[in-house]
Amino acid sequence: MNILILGSGGREHSIACAVKQNPKCRTLFVAPGNAGISEIAACVPVDINNPDAVVHLAKEKSIDFVIIGPEMPLAKGVSDYLRHAGFCVFGPSAAAAKLETSKHFAKKICRSAGVPTANFDYFNQTHTAKYFLQDKSPPFVIKADGLAGGKGVTVAHDHKTAEEAIEAAFCFGAADDKSGLLIEEFLPGEEASFFVLCDGENTLPIGTAQDHKRVGDGDRGPNTGGMGAFSPATSITPDVEEKVLRKIIQPTISELRRQGITYQGVLYAGLMINEDDVHLVEYNVRFGDPEAQVLMFRLGGQILDLLLLAASHQLKNAQVHWADDHAISVVLANRGYPLSFSPGSVIRGLDTLPRSRQAICFHAGTAKRGEEVVAVGGRVLNATARAATLKEAHALAYGLIDSIDWPEGFCRRDIGRRALATQS
């Protein structure tokens, strides 16, 4: 098959590596890709948020299957255009992607479906939102309605921070030009990510992971896209998994169908787990980044078969074959991320790193400059390892990090530490 993956992050590098392991993959294209991806696939510089440009590329390269990585092309209807043009594509329609692109839409679906999630109120004016908080006590959770590049959520522990967040929330233009905000009840607990493939009707759990969203050790500093992840998530026990499928995933898919919306792709449920109680924090309509890196590394080549089954409405009776292993991915980011950073610094030592079924360094914000690899994004490399225990995987991943010569880079040193402490 000729396969096209859309995206340029570590998520897409990990999907590309796994897809390449499947003998069904004959030629692999990635648009636009990055320096690491260019070593295993043909990278094509196309604007992936432009549906016509993507359809044109798919026709030109005689593509048999398209896998969409990030949320923005989904929000722009790229999967609808491709399907309309007759292509087999993995990724939800723009209508289904509203589960991520409009938090208000997602909350209304959850409310109709009876999904356990934080109570919320919606506001489209600053002063009514501020007035609402006057006689309430913090913490408050303020969320911009539309896509905000990971900057749309503030957990405010006082009224002043909440009011600033309300002002800021109205600055984020929503994907469909709506603009408003939600004020949510604060949910205490342990966060975890749960991934399910959906073919419109049937669902298949595809793994769990735990991300580390804050930039600094000990969960300090501002929120980021994610600084490291491990899989499986220790907090998602078989009992929690059963509850998530029965109380969260299945009612959501059914409610969407009732409203005439078919969900086909991966559904990523961000969960808050508090002892036996589980709530949905939010939905994303794509694989997480860096969660995909650990999932793909554990799953390997079978992922292509599973994505094809999801895209062609054949997930019923599909099975995932899991090794009894653990994986961890540590993000190496550009100094100053997530606030500001300078692109262009040279990364050395990458060609001496091992690349095996045990350890690999996925590329995210990298580009080639002549023979050199340079950092061009905020999150730049993902040192990823898998082993029989989380402890061994942890040692392997940090071993990779310590072999990379990039003075401008930094990482969290405590990825997976809490889970390791509870295991020993």
What are the φ and ψ backbone dihedral angles of 168, each rounded to 5 degrees?
-65, -35
Rounded Cα gap, residues 88 and 58, in angstroms: 10
Query: In angstroms, rounded to a whole number, what is the distance separating the alpha carbons of residues 424 and 413?
Result: 18
Contact partner at residue 145 from ligand AMP, ligand GLY, none, CB < 5 to 8 Å by partner kind = none
**Residue 184 interacts with which of ligand AMP, ligand GLY, none, CB < 5 to 8 Å by class:** ligand AMP
Report in angstroms the alpha-carbon separations of 305 from 83, 168, 358, 409: 19, 43, 22, 36
CB of 27 to ligand AMP, least distance (A): 36
Contacts of 5 (CB under 8 A, 6+ apart): 12, 15, 16, 19, 28, 29, 30, 31, 41, 66, 67, 69
Closest listed residue to residue 332, CA positions, set 321, 345, 314, 323: 345
Report the residue number, 80 or 184, with the smaller CB distance to ligand AMP: 184
Question: Please, which residue, 309 or 380, has the CB nearer to ligand GLY?
Answer: 380
Residue carrying the six token digits 């023979």: 371
The option from ligand GLY, ligand AMP, none interacting with 155 (CB < 5 to 8 A, set by class) reads ligand AMP
Q: Of 291, 367, 400, 406, which lies in the binding site for ligand GLY, with binding defined by CB under 6 A?
A: 291
Separation between Cα atoms, residue 117 and residue 103, nearest integer Å: 12
Residue with smaller CB distance to ligand GLY, 46 or 295: 295
Q: In what order do the strands lie in the sheet with 372-375?
A: 346-347, 372-375, 366-369
Task: Kindly determine how many residues on this chain lie close enough to bind ligand GLY according to the rule CB under 6 A.
Answer: 7
Task: Out of 70, 180, 226, 416, point to the residue binding ligand GLY (CB under 6 A).
Answer: 226
Q: Mark the segment that binds ligand GLY (CB under 6 A) among 109-117, 282-290, 337-345, 399-407.
A: 282-290
**Of 416, 373, 375, 380, residue with least CA distance to 398:** 416
Contact flag: residue 73 with ligand GLY (CB under 6 A): no
Q: How far apart are CA 264 and CA 59, in angstroms?
A: 22
| Interface stretch with ligand GLY, choices 118-126, 215-223, 288-296, 354-362 (CB under 6 A) | 288-296
* 12, 199, 289, 408: which one binds ligand GLY (CB under 6 A): 289
- Whichever of 184 and 291 has its CB closer to ligand GLY, that residue is 291
CB of 33 to ligand GLY, least distance (A): 19
Of 225, 228, 377, 409, the one binding ligand GLY (CB under 6 A) is 225
- DSSP-assigned letter for residue 219: T
Nearer Cβ to ligand AMP (81/283): 283
Which residues bind to ligand AMP, rule: CB under 6 A? 118, 141, 153, 155, 184, 186-187, 191, 213, 270, 281-282
Q: Which of 231, 284, 334, 382 binds ligand GLY (CB under 6 A)?
A: 284
**Is residue 138 within 8 Å of residue 162, measured between CB atoms?**
yes
Binding mask 169-208 for ligand GLY (x = CB under 6 A): ----------------------------------------
Number of residues written out for the chain: 424
Binding partner selected for residue 141 from ligand GLY, ligand AMP, none, CB under the kind-specific 5 to 8 Å limit? ligand AMP
Q: How far is the CB of 193 from ligand AMP (least distance, A)?
A: 9
* 55's tokens: 């359809």
Residues 201-220 that bind ligand GLY (CB under 6 A): 211
* Partner interacting with residue 281 (select from ligand AMP, ligand GLY, none; CB below 5-8 Å by kind): ligand AMP
Which one, of 217, 208, 198, lies nearest residue 278 by Cα?
208
Residue 378 binds ligand GLY (CB under 6 A)? no
**Lookup: tokens for 387:** 């082993």
3-state helix, strand, coil in the chain (%, to 5): 35, 30, 40
338 near ligand GLY, rule: CB under 6 A: no
- Those residues whose C-beta lies under 8 Å from the C-beta of residue 252, and which sit 6 or more positions away, are 99, 109, 110, 113, 115, 263, 267, 283
Tokens of 187: 């949910």
Nearer to ligand GLY, 225 or 251 (CB): 225
Residue 186 interacts with which of ligand GLY, ligand AMP, none, CB < 5 to 8 Å by class: ligand AMP
Residues in touch with ligand GLY (CB under 6 A): 211, 225-226, 284, 288-289, 291
